[in-house]
A and B are shown apart, each in its own frame.
Chain A
Amino acid sequence: MDRYFKQFDNCLQKELPYCGSDCPFRMNVNDFMDKLSRKRYNAAYKVFRDAVTFPGIVAELCPEYCAGSCPRKELGGAVKINMLEKSCIAKTKRRDPNDYNLPKKNGNIAIIGAGVSGLACALRLASKKYTVTVFEKAAEIGGMLHDLMPKEQFMEEFDLQFKFEEYTLNLNTEITDLNQLAEQGFGAVYIATGKDGNGFGLLEMEEPAAEISGMAVFAGGSLAGKDIINAIADGIDFARAIEIYFMTNKIAAPEPRPVSKIQTEIRRIPAQPAPEASEDGLFSEEEILTEVDRCLRCQCDNCRYYCDLTEYLNKWPLKMRDDIMTSTMAADSLVHKTPAIKLINACTQCGLCEETCPGNIQLGGMIKEAKKRLHNLDRQPGPYHQFWVRDAQFANGPFAELTRKAPGHDTCTYAFFPGCHLGAADPDYVKKSYEWLLSVHPDTALMLQCCGLPVDWSGNEAAHAEEIDIIRDKWQQLGKPVLIMACASCMKHFREYLPEIQMVTIYELMEQHGMQPAVKDETVYSVFDPCSARHEDDMRDSVRVLLARAGAGLEELPDAEKHGCCGYGGNIKEANPGMAKLTAEKRSKMSDNPYIVYCINCRDVFFDEGKPVKHILDLMLDIGDGDEPDRLPTVTEQRYNRVALKERLLADIWGETMENKPELTYDLVVSEEVRDKMNRLRILEEDICYTLEAGEKYGRITYVPDTDSYKCYREIGYITCWVEYRPAGEAYEILNLYTHRMKIELEAVFNGRKTETDLR
């Protein structure tokens, strides 16, 4: 966890935009723009003033250092920040500075030179309530400003900004010896005597900061060769250096202002010129808004752009990191908050975050680690992953699992690992694939089971390690064959946890063996590559070749390599149905073309979204004999499909009869409506029977006279299932069902009677 936490040092979210980085004052331009965009001129003015000290002077004289780096430069011209500043000042009604009621601070400072740099330093220190005395050899203040702008204008600005601050001004006083100041009891001195002024030897030193006669002495501004704007910035910086001196006794020139490390992606922005200023050379309100709108608010936002989770939660990863850390604090910590449980269980683990983050922050990795911690701390809500973990157990159980060498072969070069969901969707996908594989590589073994990914997604590390060990053992017993994969998710999972296994996809083999698709199809498709195949170039290419062989057209999706998950990943549907829906919708809308997929989970997601979609194997093997399914198999039917697949494979390939088949305790009469609801709640017919059994076993049945029906319930793992039913002869007619996550805590003794409390 600490490793992931540390990665966030690279986060560029709070970096200044390019313009801010080039600004001598490092002004927060995005903040300034945001305030202007809401017509909050007073607030925008404050941002400007806080950065530059004398907005009236800086707006007049600034040569716009920022314009050089503005990405808008080539797209209609750099944003006219200077004009916005001037227009903002004109529109600001309350320009008075803040009058802070602070206690006086110890610290007596002399400033030599009442030019704009010295005065900027004086204002900053005076506003912090230090005692400030300014010495000016001339008869008036302003220094080189006299050559650059009308005197009334800058004097007005000085009067305004110093309105609430006190400082002593000694005109016609030339300081020739710093000892003069030491004798007067000054603790620090800022020398800002202007161009060609007296530097008292400081500029020849290693840095313009030294201890002289017991005082901390600094020098900067035009004296150090700076232009007028940088001289003001120097005044502000040295004020800070003087403050640091008083607080820590450390004498050092200010650190150079940081250069922003910002990186942004400029994404399809139309060129647009700046508006002409129409109000006495300034922008009107409307023009301000147009210009502010032209500003791209440069900020590293790859995570917000690419990651669906940041969009869904409307949160930046830095905030997510803090919530995750809080939620996964050790059990003995004093923090007992878990604000990120849903967040952690809403990540699809598509891995796009780390691939698009310039700082290589592995947010997805952090979330995965957090899930494991939640599980170990017993904070992971049990219902979130229960269905899929049980489903994986079924796929690996006696009714569905099948590991066999090819008939008549004692060794194998290849073993087909179709994944558990392909056969659940339709047994033909696996059966026909395996039959074809046997025709080209007759010694191909079969490993029919779940790869363990749902257990990994649940955060249960120990159970997952067991699953992986079992798979490794089986693979070793088969003689370490090359696995032929049909599912990119299984493949990515094995690459991570079983790197010793060599893999190839069935699509590559189909391509290499020149297999011709069973169905010709001239439709123009877009291939939707599953996020888990992002780096499986061979697999991606083969699917496209196969599609072309079918005679179909191909229009690639925009940003084909930079899209997230279809919404299936992470099994987030239970924890965060909204997030699953958002991703499914977004991915469905990437193109109007029907999709070709090669992950059966993507197929199911898009099918549910109403997006026309086909699996590439539909074309290759003519699944369903050309008929499009009108609905997907329910969760119960998926299990039956797995059993049917095993049974048919045993019978047709190995000539064996499957004896051991699952049977329901009761005959159920289920309407279409109830069937759909069961599917939605991921409740199996088996679960319904299990619940009905409890009714009988514990006598916990309620009669509902309104509908002449009965209700009973039972805990199925972490959820409680309620069933409303009516006996129909030997069978049970199921009328309704619903589930909750809370546990009913029955009393051990109720009304003086001992009761059965464990209803599992």
Chain B
Amino acid sequence: MTTPNAFTLAEAREALKEKRLSSRELTEAMIAAMAASRPLNAFVTETPEKALAMAADSDARIARGEGRALEGLPLAIKDLFCTRGVRTTAGSRILENFVPPYESTVTQNLWDAGAVMLGKTNMDEFAMGSSNETSYFGPVENPWRAEGSNKKLVPGGSSGGSATAVAADLCLAATGTDTGGSIRQPAAVTGIVGLKPTYGRCSRWGIVAFASSLDQAGPMTKTVRDAAILLGAMASVDPMDATSVDMPVPDYEAGLEAGVKGMRIGIPKEYRIDGAPPEIDALWHKGAEWLKAQGAEIVEVSLPHTKYALPAYYIVAPAEASSNLARYDGVRYGHRAAGAKDITDLYEKSRGEGFGKEVRRRILIGTYVLSAGYYDAYYSRAQKLRTLIARDFAQAFEQCDALLTPATPGPAFAIGEKTADPVSMYLNDVFTVTVNLAGLPGISVPAGLTKEGLPLGLQVIGKAFDEAGVLRVGRALEVAADFKAKPAAWWGA
């Protein structure tokens, strides 16, 4: 039997249902793995006592025959989701001691489905980063290392702690959030599945806001089926989030194995970028061949404004962030600087001390592009580009049912390798960010290894609210790729 840590969500659900294992045993195994994994720095806060109490409640429910969809299944929660009574930091010093008096809708949905919380995962500060190196609580390490190398690699970001926790078998699955690629990019470079749902599918209430028109929560899991299970529990319409959609949540597992026969899969030619390693292109080509072999028709499509997505994002997202982060004032909650001489000084010192380098940089960019005289040249133009990018997708979807692209421009890189140059760091999201700007669903599925033995992912992009279609194509890729590799547990699990 596989150790319980290596279980998928679906396998653990089965084992609990058949009473081969209790939630307590499963949760204890995860707590032990979590404690042994501290060199990875995947968790900001571990909640073992809460986990055991939740597991005991689940075991009692299972014994009474009252198990719910995720009954007794231990999950890790990105530290961007507010959890009642459990410190929620957003990876920032400014929220270092913030204990929310309320629960985010997504996590409440998970607890209502019976899930068990193991702890809160590390992340880039306020989700601003592509490598998990901007966290106030230190970088997270990727459990994967290149063959024959001890070099520490980043797990991607911003949901890097969640990605590492899933890849290192410290939990069955985790939640993430994705503003420009923060679920799919870390999933790809840690060899797991990450799904960003359509904007509006999951409630944003109680998730610390970064860029409100782009932020969306989603599952990070070991398999495509697990992503379907977890998304089904996370998604809901919510009176607390006016942008959450009033559409029934389908049974995402039901159509998972329907296959891609007769589907038309678009290959956007603009995603072939200069300077990308040949392995990325080769894997992408292989992915198209896999789908073709299963009966899909491959069509070349064009998304002409692709190259403008990332620069447009780096106007829109900082602009929204500068507004959202105005709430951190050192007065109502969060860090307050000592020795302020007046209220303005209090704001400036508290924010100067509480925000890290990348967050300060983005707030300043956002403030600048929204300031008088520059609004039209930057913000308004970027929002118009967004219209063109969304239109590109709409036109492409007249010719195909889903798109296949690489997930990232390369495998995991070394800690410290890209921190000096913000633009080169931003380029890690080149294949994922378009999807956020257009509000579409996208999944990253592990598809192969580089010759150094590091995971790479492929991305499937779907029409708005066609998560079921995205999962179905993702499952077809998963079947063909048969990705079984696991990182060597060098950290002493």
Do A and B come together as binding partners? no
